[in-house]
Amino acid sequence: LNYTEPYRPQYHFSPAENWMNDPAGLVYYNETYHLFFQYNPAGIEWGNMSWGHATSKDLTHWEERPVALLARGYPENVTEMYFTGSAVADVNNTSGFGVDGKVPLVAMYTSMYPVAQELPSGKNVLAEQQSQSIAYSLDDGETWTTYDAENPVIHNPPSPYGAEFENFRDPFVFWHEDTQKWVAVTVLASLHKVVIWSSDNLKEWSLASEFGPYNAVGGVWECPNLFQMPIKGHPSIKKWVLVLGLNPGGPPGTVGSGTQYFIGDFDGTAFKADPDNIHADNKSANWMDWGPDFYAAASYNGLPAGDDVVQIAWMNNWQYGATIPTSPWRSAMSVPRQLSLKKVNGKVALLQQPQHSWRSVANHQTLKHSWKSVSKGSTSLDSPGKAFKIDLSFADHDSDKSLASTFAIAVRASSDFKQETLVGYNFTSKEVFVDRRNSGDGSFDKTFASLYHAPLSANADKRINLQVFVDWSSVEVLGGQGEVSLTAQIFPEGNSTEARLVSTDGVTQDVRLRISGMDSAWH
Ligand code: FRU
């Protein structure tokens, strides 16, 4: 396999073949980053849900490993699928799974039982039931043993929600330092409720609290993620962030999946969102990403204390995920993102920056240019190819006859520019945008060819800063200090490698551009 098929991401993780969805079980242990993910060993559509596995030393170069948890009964008669979950290194062996001093990695996941059955533990489950189970590994994640003696360890939704047994899933487990307990965060997807549990040993769980519904409740709530971070510049103030997938019901202008977050406090029992993070209309939300292709975001467990939180998301959307024109695999992960909190205009904002190891594949084919003024119309650029990273900054302005109404860089463009993806800024609406209406193949879904936008104000120097990661089938935009993010897949022709600047209705001032070529992380 040489990872050179049409649309194959060059520095984003994708499985060699077959279907992938959510990242699950991101854990750093023994100087290795593990990435487990929802995986169908049998094909490029969702099914037979198992946990695929990849490892990395730097979060950019990945090696795919054997399937970690293969759907029980696969292939003839699947009786249990392993849905999304999380993993921890149980360094104190609270679970007792460790043997001879070997630290167990413990995964907690949703067991989805397609058929009613009595389990080896003697517990009974209904058809389509979702319960929470655990498994452990004593060889650094290579092979796993399910805890059949007791699974599922959280059998049923808490009362009075027993009827929700088909919509109870996605445990995110982590160690809560202050109370010295394990905490697991799950969802009652259709009720838009997060249910929080705690445990001393990862095996016996007690109900701690529930949260929601709040803010965006368009579809179901899935894949909760909860973590703590200091506020930059105020290291003694730490806040908790709860991240949730919504499907459908993403940000304005998107169709399908999306990701929202809440900033607040968590005492080991209850999560309480800050009052300014709750929107009374139950419609607006804090969007983690304003594009269509950022879902099921999960953070790493086990990072060295003091390191920033790092998240990876599924770079796809349930609206069209199963029909994107890639083969023999479907779906890639986002660039890993380093998260931080910072006070911006008096309010705590969640910032995203690319995790630094992308630099290990940046090559020396760098284009650097600045313009006092970019004229109205288009300005040609040398071809940056198919995989590169852009830093683009320019002066903001209020509307004025001689000045631009929008300014953008066109990437992955054909030589006649009939095909192009535009990443830019609208000076009138003060929004960053990604326009993939003419980006290439969009024939597989009628909602795909669209324009996405996110609000962004200029920084203190009255400038707009954009970082853009372009790969063979995606663009990821981080605006400002990372307070907005826009992620979108694109499927351009292989020979669409041109780029240009486009300033509409007038000039754009003080433009600085830097483009670094990106090599393949697979070779
Ligand atoms: C989210 C999700 C999860 C579920 C998994 C199944 O994308 O629907 O809620 O556990 O995918 O593959």
pLDDT digits (tens, 9 = 90+) for 391-430: 999 999 998 899 999 999 999 999 999 999 999 999 999 9
How many angstroms separate the CA atoms of 52 and 345, rounded? 42
Task: Give the pLDDT confidence score for residue 285 in this predicted structure.
Answer: 94
Are residues 361 and 471 in contact, defined by beta-carbon separation less than 8 angstroms?
Answer: no
Q: Which token pair is 509?
A: 């001032």
Contact between 56 and 35 under an 8 Å Cβ cutoff? The reply is: yes
In this prediction, residue 282 carries a pLDDT of 66
Whether ligand 1 lies within 6 angstroms of the CB of 289 is answered as no
Nearest atom within ligand 1 for CA of residue 257: 7
Cα of 151 from ligand 1 centre, angstroms? 20
Pocket mutation for ligand 1, best pick of 19, 40, 49, 84 (most atoms within 8 Å of C-beta): 84
3-state secondary structure of 275: helix
| 233 contacts 342 by C-beta, under 8 angstroms | yes
Q: Of 175-179, 199-203, 237-241, 281-285, where does mean pLDDT reach its minimum?
A: 281-285
* Of 260, 264, 179, 198, nearest in space to 229 by CA: 264
Tokens 């509409």 belong to 504
The pLDDT of residue 469: 98
Contacts of 26 (CB under 8 A, 6+ apart): 33, 34, 35, 36, 86, 87, 298, 299, 300, 301, 310, 312
Q: Looking at the predicted complex, does its ipTM rise above 0.90? A: yes
| Residue 305 confidence class, pLDDT cut points 50, 70, 90 | confident
The tens digit of pLDDT for each residue in 331-364 reads 999 999 999 999 887 889 999 999 999 999 999 8
Q: What is the largest CA-CA distance in the chain?
A: 76
Which two three-digit tokens encode residue 61? 């170069």
Residue 283 has pLDDT above 70, yes or no: no
For tokens 């973590």, name the residue. Answer: 227
Q: Is 110 in the pocket of ligand 1 (CB under 6 A)?
A: yes
Residue 79 burial (CB count, 10 A): 15
Query: Does pTM top 0.90 for this prediction?
Result: yes
How far CA 278 is from CA of 99, 194, 239, in Å, comes to: 46, 15, 15
Secondary structure of 337-375 as H, E, C letters: EEEEEEEECCEEEEEEEECHHHHHHEEEEEEEEEEEEEC
CA pair distance 193, 190, nearest whole angstrom: 8
31-40, 209-218, 272-281, 390-399: segment of lowest average pLDDT:
272-281
Does ligand 1 come within 6 angstroms of the Cβ of 84?
Answer: yes
What are the angstrom distances between the C-alpha of 404 and each of 209, 392, 514? 52, 16, 21
Which ligand 1 atom is nearest residue 189's CA? 9
CA distance 319 to 293: 10
CB of 298 closer than 6 A to ligand 1?
no
CA–CA separation, 299 vs 303, rounded Å? Answer: 10
What is the residue with the minimal CA distance to atom 12 of ligand 1?
A: 83
The rounded distance, in Å, linking the Cα atoms of 329 and 84 is: 19
Element (H, E) at 300: none
- For residues 300-316, give the mean pLDDT: 94
d(CA 448, CA 451): 9
Mean pLDDT taken over the chain:
97
What does the DSSP assignment read for 246-273?
EES--STT--S-EEEEEEEEE-SS-EEE
Mutate to test the pocket of ligand 1, among 80, 191, 222, 330 (most ligand atoms within 8 A of CB): 222
Q: Is 323 left (phi over 0), alpha (psi -120 to 50) or beta?
A: alpha
Cα atoms in the 13 Å half-sphere on the side-chain side of 147: 25
Apex 494 CA angle, 488 and 495, nearest 5: 115
Question: Cβ distance 437 to 446 under 8 Å?
Answer: no
Cα of 84 from ligand 1 centre, angstroms: 6
pLDDT of residue 433: 98
- Amino acid letter, residue 426: N
Q: Which residue has its alpha carbon closest to ligand 1 atom 8?
A: 222
pLDDT at 284: 81
Residues in Cβ contact with 479 at an 8 Å cutoff, skipping those fewer than 6 apart:
432, 454, 456, 464, 465, 466, 485, 486
Is residue 170 in contact with ligand 1, taking CB distance under 6 Å?
A: yes
Strand partners, 19: 40, 330
Query: Mean pLDDT across the stretch 66-72?
Result: 98
Read off φ and ψ for residue 163, nearest 5 degrees. -70, -10
Q: How far is the CA of 222 from the centre of ligand 1 (A)?
A: 7
What separation in Å is there between the alpha carbon of 148 and the centre of ligand 1? 22
Q: Which sequence positions are flagged as catalytic?
A: 22
* CB of 392 shorter than 6 A to ligand 1: no
Contact (CB, 8 A) for 301 and 26: yes
* Non-local CB neighbours of 432 within 8 Å, separated by 6+ positions: 290, 423, 424, 425, 426, 453, 454, 456, 464, 466, 477, 479, 484, 486
pLDDT of 523: 84
pLDDT at 61: 98
**pLDDT by residue (tens digit) across 129-167?**
999 999 999 999 999 999 999 999 999 999 999 999 999
Residue 21 CB less than 6 A away from ligand 1: yes
User: Would you state the pLDDT for residue 280?
Assistant: 80
The predicted pLDDT at position 306 comes to 80
- Per-residue pLDDT tens digits for 13-54: 999 999 999 999 999 999 999 999 999 999 999 999 999 999
Q: Which two tokens stand for residue 351?
A: 């910032």
Residue 481 has pLDDT above 70, yes or no: yes
